[in-house]
Amino acid sequence: MPPVLEGNVAIFGAGGPVGVSAARALQGHYTLRLTDVRLSGEITQPQSAGAPLPAVPLPPNEERWVDVSNYAEVLEAARGMDALINCTVVRPHLEAAFLVNMVGAYNVAKAAVELGIRRIIHTGPYHLNLNHNADYWWDYDVPPDVPLHPGTDLYAASKFLGGEITRTFAERHGLEVITFLYCGFLPGDGGPREDGSGLGPFYTSWEDCGEAFRYALRAPTPPHPYEVFLICSDLPHGRFSPRKAKRLLGWEPQHDFQRLWKRAPAKP
Amino acid sequence: MQVLITGAETPLAQLAAARLRERFDLRLTRSADGTAEHTTAGIPADLRVPEQVEPLVEGVEAILHLAPYALQHPADADAERDVLDQAARGTFVLLHAALKAGVKRVVLASRLDLMAAYPEDYLVDETWKPLPDTSAAALAPYLAELTLREAVRAEPILGVCLRLGELGESGTTASDAVSAIERALVMDPAEQKYRWWLYHISSTERFASAAASKEPLCWAPAEG
Amino acid sequence: MPPVLEGKIAIFGAAGPVAVMAADALRPHYTLRLCDVQPLAERTVEQSAGAPLPATAIPPHEERRVDVTDYAQVLEASRGMDALVNCTVVRPHLQPAFLVNTIGAYHVAKAAVELGIRRIIHTGPQLVIAEHQADYWHDFDVHDDVPERPGSSLYGLSKYLGSEVMRRFAEVHHLEVAAFVYAHFRPANRPSDADGSGLYAFTTAWEDTGAPFLAALRAPATAFEQPFELFHIASRLPHGKIGGSDKAQRLLGWAPEQDFSRLWHRSPIVQE
ipTM of the complex: 0.92
Q: Which of B85, B97, B46 is nearest to C96 (CA)?
A: B85
> Neighbouring chains of C at 3+ CB pairs within 8 Å?
A, B
Query: A residues 160-219 near C, CB within 8 Å?
Result: none
Say if A152 is an interface residue toward chain C (CB within 8 Å): no
Q: Which domain holds residue B122?
A: 2-213
Q: Residue B121: pLDDT above 90? A: no
Contact C133 A134 (CB under 8 A): yes
Residue type, B72: Q
The partner residues of B105 in beta bridges, in order of sequence, read B62, B158
- Chain B nearest-CA distance from C187, in A, is 33
Query: B residues 120-149 near A, CB within 8 Å?
Result: 120-123, 125, 127-131, 149
Strands B25-31 and B105-111: unpaired
Distances (CA, A) of A142 to A53, A153, C128, C248: 31, 20, 14, 19
| Position A126 confidence tier, pLDDT thresholds 50, 70, 90 | very high
Q: Residue B95: pLDDT above 70? A: yes
User: Distance between CA atoms of C57 and C7, rounded to whole angstroms?
Assistant: 16
Enumerate the residues of chain A whose CB falls inside 8 A of the CB of residue B130.
140
pLDDT tens column, C197-239: 888 999 999 999 999 999 999 999 999 999 999 999 999 998 8
- Chain B nearest-CA distance from C227, in A, is 14
pLDDT tens column, A59-90: 999 999 999 999 999 999 999 999 999 999 99
- Chain A nearest-CA distance from C45, in A, is 39
Dihedral sign (CA B211, B217, B218, B221): negative
Biggest distance spanned by C-alpha atoms of chain C: 69
Contact A262 B123 (CB under 8 A): yes
Contact A72, A101 (CB under 8 A): no
**Which residue from A134, A146, A224 is facing C134, i.e. has the nearest CB?**
A134
3-state helix, strand, coil in chain B (%, to 5): 40, 20, 45
Q: What is the CATH classification number for the domain harbouring B34?
A: 3.40.50.720
User: Distance between CA atoms of C89 and A148, rounded to whole angstroms?
Assistant: 32
Residue B176 domain flag: yes
The residue count of chain C comes to: 272
Q: How many domains does chain A have?
A: 1
Domain ranges of chain C: 8-264
Low pLDDT (below 50) residues in chain C = 271
Give the pLDDT score at B35: 65
Residue A85 domain flag: yes
Residue B120 domain flag: yes
Biggest distance spanned by C-alpha atoms of chain A: 65
Q: Which domain holds residue A228?
A: 8-261
Contact B13, B108 (CB under 8 A): no
Residue type, B183: R
Say if B147 is an interface residue toward chain C (CB within 8 Å): yes
Residue B219 domain flag: no
**Which residue from C72, C103, C172 is facing B133, i.e. has the nearest CB?**
C172
Residue C259 CA, distance from chain mean position: 19
Interface test mutation site (partner C, options B48, B86, B94, B150, max chain C beta carbons within 10 A):
B150
**Which residue from A133, A142, A147 is facing C136, i.e. has the nearest CB?**
A147
Enumerate the residues of chain A whose CB falls inside 8 A of the CB of residue B194.
129, 131-133, 137-138
Q: Which of C133, C129, C219 is nearest to C183 (CA)?
A: C129
Q: How many domains does chain B have?
A: 1
CB-based contacts of A260: which residues, under 8 Å, 6+ apart?
Answer: A190, A193, A195, A196, A197, A198, A199, B123
Q: What is the CATH classification number for the domain harbouring A229?
A: 3.40.50.720
Residue A268, classed as helix, strand or coil, is coil
Q: Which of A251, A221, A252, A230 is nearest to A4 (CA)?
A: A221
Residue B204 domain flag: yes
pLDDT tens column, A88-100: 999 988 889 999 9
- How many percent of chain A have pLDDT more than 90? 89
Domain covering C8-264, topology: Rossmann fold (3.40.50)
